[in-house]
Amino acid sequence: MNKTEVKPASGKLGILVVGLGAVSTTFMTGVLMARKGLAKTIGSMVEYDKIRVGKGTDKKYLHYRDVVPITELKDIELGAWDVYPANAYQSAMYAEVLNEKDINPVRDELEKIVPMKGAFDKNFAKRLDGDNVMVGKTRWEMTEQLRKDIRQFKAEKGCERVVVAWAASTEIYVPYFAPVHDKLCDLETAMQCDDKEHVAPSMCYAYAALKEGCPFIMGAPNTTVDIPAMWELAENTKMPIAGKDFKTGQTLVKSGFAPIIGTRCLGLNGWFSTNILGNRDGLVLDEPENFRTKEVSKLSTLESILMPENQPDLYKDYYHKVRINYYPPRNDNKEGWDNIDIFGWMGYPMQVKINFLCRDSILAAPLLLDLCLLSDLAARAGRYGIQRFLSFYLKSPMHDFKVGEIPVNHLFQQYTMLKNALREMGGYEPDEELD
């Protein structure tokens, strides 16, 4: 097989994050601490995982960096936008995810990360009320300002390349609306006409990033780049897009455990999932319109793993319910409960109960790192549009719904897609198949 032409990871990579909250500051602190040898990037597959390449006597297991050229941590420059003016150190202290002793060694570097003004519309996140926002700007003017921000950051930091990632709060649900979302020209017209109903602020970030030659990652369940108009823009600019919604706690469990039920040919009567969460994300999701966006994302996982049309005896009428409850005392320490009603031989019922006491940002930080590094890799490899090989990291993987494509939510199939893409970019045979 001819090796894919992948440009080297030369120079600096800028990572611009939308939202300087718990996830972003945990990610940034971890990267800066790891560069000093004071912490480990546990949870990052790019940093820790190995994959098999070659067969027979040529078989070997290599770290990702030994298969493809991936940017080193020392070459990363960090920046952000946020609706609150606090710098990354102040935000990390406020988030209370990390202990002070794990933040102070990189305090000076974190204090230099001061957020640029956010493109914000309170109607899309009613529980937030920041004052570091663009005032009186239309959707198009917001986009133009974001493009300037990217260019200025790139120049000031001396970056060869930039990746933009959304790690801000979930916006209210914006359903697909063909007259605006189907074609790029119609989306641009809507932005120029300041269509505040169909153009979410997050779409301004995505548009600006892609026009400036930056891959864009949607880490929330927003429909931002999950529309044909954005696919067209990504194709025009030859830039990768990935989304949506970081797969951290409960959905990670679901995408791993549901295949056990399906592979074992056990039946499912119902799956009830509930969460308690107290950080800013939990506050925003306490608003019903914002929760609706998250609910659509979470519900989609199970439906594409256990498909009733393939096994009607087992999955025809199961009941799937997802809830998120805002509970301030827990802060970032999210707790997820799953009650799973299954049935087996002769229809006899059984139950599985899972209680996952997780730390949301501790799980999300390595995902953010991997998605940024691998999106940059994809861009250098000439891959553009929807990056399906990154589905492993995401709750509701993007797919071409216009042609009836079914997203892959099965964790182990997603892992195969990830490994095969890396093999292909590294010049090895993509030798595992999805059944």
pLDDT recorded at residue 127: 84
Cβ count within 10 A of residue 125: 24
Closest alpha carbon to 31 in 394, 365, 359, 374: 365
In the predicted model, residues of the chain with pLDDT beneath 70 are: 1-4, 285, 291, 293-294, 297-299, 435
| Residue 207, both tokens | 């548009």
Angular region, 358: left φ>0, alpha ψ -120 to 50, beta rest: beta
User: Tokens 């999805």 appear where?
Assistant: 434
pLDDT recorded at residue 432: 77
pTM above the 0.85 mark?
yes
- Each residue's pLDDT tens digit, 101-127: 999 999 999 999 999 999 999 999 888
148 upstream amide cis, omega within 30 of 0: no
pLDDT recorded at residue 293: 67
User: Tokens 């120049």 appear where?
Assistant: 155
pLDDT recorded at residue 299: 67
The residues near 278 (Cβ < 8 Å, ≥ 6 apart) are 326, 327, 328, 329, 330, 331, 332, 333
pLDDT recorded at residue 430: 87
| Residue 327, both tokens | 């509970």
- The structural domains of the chain, ordered by start, are 12-246+361-425 (3.40.50.720), 250-359 (3.30.360.10)
Query: What's the whole-number average pLDDT of the chain?
Result: 93
User: Tokens 């992948």 appear where?
Assistant: 6
Looking only at the bridges linking them, the beta strands covering 60-63 and 50-53 are antiparallel
Q: Can you tell me the distance from the alpha carbon of 405 to that of 411, in angstroms, rounded to the nearest whole number? A: 18
